[in-house]
Amino acid sequence: MDDLPLVLLPGAEPLRAPATAELADALGLRTTASQPLYDVCIVGAGPAGLAAAVYAASEGLSTVVVEREAPGGQAGQSAAIENYLGFPKGLSGSDLAQRALAQVGRFGAELVLAREVTGLAARGPVRAVSLANGAEIEARSVVVASGVSYRLLAAPGTASFTGRGIFYGATAAESAQTAGDVVHLIGGANSAGQAALNFARHAAKVVMLVRGPSLEATMSQYLIARIQAHPGIEVRFRTEVAGAAGDGHLERLTLLDHATGTTEQVAATWLFAFIGAVPRTDWLAGEADCDDHGFVVTGPELVRRGSWPAERPPFALETSLPGVFAAGDVRLDSMKRVASAVGEGAMAIHLVHRYLATR
């Protein structure tokens, strides 16, 4: 198992359990920046980061995007985005990401993949972004679009089965693997609802485990209506996973019913969790003001918190480090929707232009 996954490439030695950077190099993807200084460095290639890259490069700014994994972010794993303007039949997250990447490439933005950002520092008018491999990228401005990571389950036994029956998030491709099986799914937001409908196309049954008393407060009405009308989806409210067990692979779940205070064990081989997210802001290391949960504080809120250092007022998406902007899910009080992330990415570049004009 330590040799998996095994990657076979034409004319090359097999790669056994390669690191992300090693795989990217083998595939010929760019993993280093080519210029000593950029107008803007965008950290993260989710919807916000890709939108920022398209607008920055199309408007003549020298642009580099750094992504530690694969472009698309969490939205790139969505089976169906049905409320995105201009796509009445919806589109998958991977399709949206591929379309955005094509635009990024066409306008000439540089994409550096498989590189984790570990730090940010101000050097006079320049902002330096540090990478895990020791390299640095310098830019006159930075857009923080590093997004969020899935929150992990804390119930006893769940950590042992990550990747062995328990998964965080889900792509459209994974639903076919559950054909004829019962799928348990945790969460009550839009991402969970979209996944439930997607799994229900193949699985014998989908059981949604929702800690709250209803879906109305956390899910769009069009998804609620479809879930309620689907005969293959059962929703269990006020229920959470209290434990997991199995022999090398998930076999059983312990479910706690908060309404009755009782627990029960159910057979389970698939569990997909959509239980919120943690912002990817540890790399900011105090350089930009974040709230108690790690979300980046921007705009007028900085003045109220007393963390804005300049004489001029901050721009709407600007962080406490002038010239550094935040967009998308990583930002405090963002809408957590693909459309709003795209809008913030575009708006961030408008503000970058205004900031650079002051320099």
DSSP assignment of 174-201 equals GGGGGTTSEEEEE--SHHHHHHHHHHTT
Residue 1 has what pLDDT?
54
Q: Are residues 165 and 135 in the same domain?
A: no
Residue 283 has what pLDDT?
96
φ/ψ of 313, rounded to 5, equals: -70, 150
Tell me the angle at which helices 47-58 and 93-107 cross, rounded to the nearest 10 degrees: 20
Q: Distance between CA atoms of 161 and 43, rounded to whole angstroms?
A: 31
Sign of CA dihedral 301, 303, 304, 307: positive
Structure tokens at 287: 């350089």
Q: Are residues 260 and 166 in the same domain?
A: yes
Question: What's 268's domain CATH number?
Answer: 3.50.50.60
Residue 169 has what pLDDT?
85
Last residue of a domain, one of 258, 273, 288: 273
Structure tokens at 47: 């919807």
Residue 19 has what pLDDT?
77
Q: Are residues 166 and 88 in the same domain?
A: no
Residue 4 has what pLDDT?
74
Instruction: Confirm whether 97 is domain-assigned.
Output: yes
Domain count, the chain: 2
Instruction: Confirm whether 20 is domain-assigned.
Output: no
Instruction: Confirm whether 14 is domain-assigned.
Output: no
Q: Are residues 310 and 331 in the same domain?
A: yes
Q: Dihedral angle at the C-alpha atoms of 17, 99, 341, 63, nearest 10 degrees?
A: 80
Residue 249 has what pLDDT?
95
Instruction: Confirm whether 166 is domain-assigned.
Output: yes
Residue 172 has what pLDDT?
67
- CB hemisphere CA count around 25 (13 angstroms): 8
Tell me which residue of 287, 315, 337 sits closest to 120, measured CA to CA.
287
Q: Are residues 142 and 281 in the same domain?
A: yes
Residue 141 has what pLDDT?
98
> By the 8 A CB rule, do 178 and 206 touch?
no
Q: Distance between CA atoms of 92 and 99, rounded to whole angstroms?
A: 11
Q: State if pTM tops 0.85.
A: no
Enumerate residues 6+ apart whose C-beta is below 8 A from 281.
144, 146, 288, 290, 294, 295, 296, 330
Instruction: Confirm whether 23 is domain-assigned.
Output: no
Profile the chain (359 residues) by mean pLDDT over runs of 10 residues: 76 80 73 94 97 98 94 79 87 91 96 95 97 96 94 94 90 83 96 94 97 95 97 98 96 97 97 92 94 96 97 97 97 92 98 95
Instruction: Confirm whether 1 is domain-assigned.
Output: no
Domain that holds residue 168: 158-273
Enumerate residues 6+ apart whose C-beta is below 8 A from 102.
none
Instruction: Confirm whether 4 is domain-assigned.
Output: no
Report in angstroms the alpha-carbon separations of 308 from 42, 74, 288, 289.
Answer: 22, 31, 10, 9
Residue 159 has what pLDDT?
94
